[in-house]
Amino acid sequence: MIAPANHRPADYSPKTALQKKLINRPRDVVTESLEGLALAYPNLLNIAYAPPVVWRKDAPVKGKVALISGSGSGHEPLNTGYVGRGMLDAACPGGLFTSPTPDQYVAAMHAVEGGAGALFITKNYTGGLLNMGMAKEMAEDEGFRVQTVLVNDDVAQNDPENRRAMGATVLVEKIAGAAAEESRPLDHVAAIAQQVADQARSMGLALTGCTSPRIGYPTFELPADEFELGVGIHGERGRQRRMLASADAMTEMMLEPIIQDLGLTEGDNVLALVSGLGATPLQELFIVFRHLHHSLAQRGIPVIRQLVGNYITSLDMAGCTITLLKLTPELTRLWDAPVHTAALHW
Amino acid sequence: MTRDVTLEQMQHWLLHYADQIEQEQATLTRLDAAIGDADHGVNMQHGAEKMRAKINDLTDCHDIDVFLRTIAMTLISSIGGAAGPLYGVFFLRASKEAGPGDVISLDRLAQMFQVGLESIQQRGHARLGDKTMVDALAPAVEALRLATDAGQSTTEALAVASEAAEAGMLATIDMEAKKGRASYLGPRSIGHQDPGATSAYLLVASAAATLGN
C-alpha cells in the first residue's frame, strides 16, 4: 500500500471509466494520430516515429534559422499543425501531456538545421525546461548553435517564474517564424520571439475536465453550475472554482487580469487570440470574442488583429483561453506575413 | 557481514523497481490526476518497460558505472516530462560516483544516493517541503548516511532509508506544492500525496528489497 486509505484517490466507477472516443488502443493514440496527420498533409510534412519528429518537407532551408518547438500531445493543432513555411521547421510531439525527450530535439536538429542555428521554443513547465535544457546541451556538443525562448504568459499564476505557457506559444511561433523566413540571424529571431513572449498574457477557464485516453476518466468533475477559473492546458484544475455566470461576465473575469498585468492603456493596439480548449463550439468562442472586442474598444484598446478557433487545446476539455499581445508595427507586419501550415495559412 | 553491493544486485534492484512501477501504475496516475496532469503512472511505466528490456539486453556489462549510465540514458529518452530528466540525472550522477568495477561498498552506495539527490535538486530547483520527489529522497539519503556511518549492515541501513522515504512520502500529503504542476493549484494541492515522492519512495523500497545481504 503506497498511499494511505483516506488519501487514496477514489476508484472510478466502470461507467465513467468507459470513455467514448474515436480511438483504437489507448497506447497507440499519439502514433496513429501522427500517421493520420502525415497522410492528410503529404506535400507539407515529413514525419518520423522513433523518436517522433514532424518537420517541413522543404527543410533544411539553407541559411535560415530553424525553429523547433516541443510539446506534449493533446494540444492539437499545437505544435504539429504549425509546421510549415513561415512558422515552425519542426515539432517534437511528446506523449499525452508529456514533454518530449531530448533525443527528439536532437533528431529534429539533424532534420532541419540549415546552417544558421536553431531557436528552441519552450513552454514554461518543469518537464519541458528540463528536457529542452538537456537537448540544448546535446545539440551544442554536436556543434550546433542553439538559442531558446521561454513562453510563460499565464496570469492565473501570481509568481511570474511559475507562469505556464498558453496561447502566446502560437503567437511566438508565428511571429518568430516570419522573422526567420526573412533570413534574419539567430540573435534577431530569438529577440523577436522574446519580445512576443514578454508582451503577451493569457487566462483560461474550464467548464469540464478532460479525459486522457491513457487514463479513461476525467481529470476532475464539476457540478452543473460551477466552472474553474485560471486553468492551464493539461486538464488540471484552476486556481478557483466559481459559480457559472453569463459569457460576458466570465469573459470579463479572464480579461481584466490580463489587461492589468500587461499594463495596457488607452491607445495600445492588441492582437487577441480566443482559443477553445477542445470541446467548446466555435459559436461560443465567437460570443466570447464579441464581448472581448467590445470591452477592449470601450477602454480605447482596439483589437487590430485576431484569431478565434481551436489553436491550443487540452484534449476534450470544454472552455477557452484568452491571449492578448500588445502589438508594435513590426510585430503586426510579421503577423501578417504569409504562413503555410496545416492549421494557419494566409 | 559484508557491506558490499554487487552489479548483479543492482540489476535486481532496477528490475524490482520496474515491477513495482507496473504494479502501482494506476495508483501513481490517480495521485497525479488529483493534483497534476495524470501522466506520471503512464510515463513511469513506459520507462520501466524500456529499462527492463535494456537490463535484459545488457548481458556483457561488467561495470556498475556503465550499467547505471545506460539506465540513465534509457530513462531520459523514454519517460519524458519532468520525471525522465530527474531520474535520469540521478542515475547519471550516481554512475560517475560508482566508477568502474562490479562491486561497491555500502559507503559508496550512500554517497551515490547523496550526489544523485543533489543533481536532482540542481536540475529541478526543488527544496525539502516543496511537495516533490525530494521529500521522499532527502530523508532516505540522510538515514542511509547515518546508518552507514553507524556501522549497520546494508540490509539494516537500506531498511531505515526506506522507512524514512515512506515517512517523507506521506508527509507530502499536508504540504502545499511549490514546484511542478501541482504548484499551479496553490493551497488546493494540500491534502494530496505527491506522485513523484511516491515513485521515489518505491525506488528506495526496491533498493531495500534487493541490495541487502
Q: pLDDT band for A13, please (50, 70, 90 cuts).
A: very low
Three-state SS at A57: coil
pLDDT above 90 as % of chain A: 86
Beta bridge partners of A321: A204, A275
A223-281 pLDDT tens trace: 999 999 999 998 888 889 999 999 999 999 999 999 999 999 999 999 999 999 999 99
Residues A175-196 have a mean pLDDT of 98
Degrees, nearest 5: CA angle B59-B159-B44: 50
In angstroms, the CA A345 to CA A313 distance is 19
**Residue A232 contacts B where some CB pair is shorter than 8 Å:** yes
Query: What is the per-residue pLDDT across A43-74, written as a single tens digit (0 to 9) for each?
Result: 999 999 999 999 999 999 999 999 999 999 99
* Residue A8 with chain B: CB contacts under 8 Å: 27, 30
Q: How far is B176 from chain A (nearest CA, A)?
A: 13
Question: Touching check for A276 and chain B: CB below 8 Å?
Answer: no
Chain B hits for A1, Cβ within 8 Å:
none
Cβ-Cβ contacts under 8 Å between A and B: the total is 126
Do B27 and A9 make contact, defined as CB atoms within 8 angstroms?
yes
Tell me which range, A14-23, A93-102, B160-169, is most confidently predicted by mean pLDDT. Answer: B160-169
Structural domains of chain B sorted by starting position, each given as residue range(s) with its CATH number in brackets: 4-210 (1.25.40.340)
Q: What is the pLDDT of residues A323-338, one digit of tens each?
A: 999 999 999 999 999 9
Is A7 among the catalytic positions?
A: no
**Grid cell locating B95:** 554512475
Which residues in chain B are contacts of A131 at CB distance < 8 A?
A: 80-81, 84-85
Identify which of B137, B153, B120 has the alpha carbon closest to the alpha carbon of residue B199. B137
Q: How many residues does chain B have?
A: 213
Model confidence at B179, in pLDDT bands (50, 70, 90)? confident
Is residue A207 predicted with pLDDT exceeding 90?
yes
Point out the catalytic residue in the list A7, A110, A188, A234.
A234
pLDDT score at A18: 62
Q: Is A311 on the interface with B (CB under 8 A)?
A: no
CA distance A103 to chain B (A): 6
How many angstroms separate the CA of residue B50 from the nearest CA in chain A?
14
The pLDDT of residue A9 is above 80: no
Shortest alpha-carbon distance between residue A54 and chain B (Å): 17
The pLDDT of residue B1 is above 70: no
> Which position among A7, A75, A188, A340 bears the catalytic label?
A75
CA distance B13 to B84: 18
Confidence band, pLDDT 50/70/90 cuts, at residue A16? very low
- Per-residue pLDDT tens digits for A120-146: 999 998 889 999 999 999 999 999 999
Distances (CA, A) of A216 to A15, B37, B83: 10, 13, 22
Which range (A209-223, A321-335, B9-23) has the least confidence?
A209-223
Task: Kindly determine whether residue B43 and residue A234, on different chains, have CB atoms separated by under 8 Å.
Answer: no
Phi and psi torsions of A228, nearest 5° = -105, 125
Sketch out chain A's domains with CATH numbers.
35-198 (3.40.50.10440), 200-341 (3.30.1180.20)
Task: Compute the mean pLDDT over every residue in chain B, rounded to the nearest whole number.
Answer: 94
SS3 at position A45: strand
Minimal Cβ distance to B184: which of A94, A102, A236: A236
DSSP A88-118: BSEEEEEEET-PPPHHHHHHHHHHH--SS-E
